[in-house]
Amino acid sequence: MKPSDITIEPAGEATLQSLLSLLAASGLPPEGLSDHLATALVACDNGRVIGSAALELYGASALLRSVAVAPDYQGQGLGRQLTRAAIDLARRHGVTHLYLLTETAEAFFPQFGFGPIDRADVPSQVKDSLEFTSLCPDSALAMAAPVPVK
């Protein structure tokens, strides 16, 4: 595989089922993602969905969710590329703060400015999302980051 074979592009109806399968295989909740397909990204290798990152937009805040990379593509920087692309997408939508929940990637996200945050400090619109209310356990770590201005 050459890095040039991989593209990061907006998700759509044509990639939705493959995206949902990737999330399920990665142990991430697929529920609710189809409601935010317009702000979801996929990494594809010759048409195969191999990675994802998505945003749920809530005014100036957004929830970063569904950051996943297929096992055979992990360790090559694709997760970083997808996260950067999602942050750029958030910036284009006027988002000033990103939030996320994680059970396994608390060491990954600080490189993008994320730090732990008390759930009580998360804006109510984000807290009312499916991720916060029912999909992620209370043990999941909440993290937040300002969206850097370019």
pLDDT band at 4 (very low <50, low <70, confident <90, very high): low
Single-letter amino acid, residue 124: S
Query: pTM to 2 decimals?
Result: 0.93
- Give the closest residue to 26 by CA, choosing from 50, 45, 54: 50
CATH code of 85's domain: 3.40.630.30
Q: Residue 74's domain spans which residues?
A: 3-146
- What are 54-78's pLDDT values in tens digits? 999 999 999 999 999 999 999 999 9
CA 8 to chain centre: 13
Domain count, the chain: 1
Supply the DSSP symbol for 127: H
C-alpha–C-alpha distance, residues 1 and 18, integer Å: 20
- Express as a percent the part of the chain with pLDDT over 70: 97
Q: How confident is the model at residue 109 (pLDDT cuts 50, 70, 90)?
A: very high
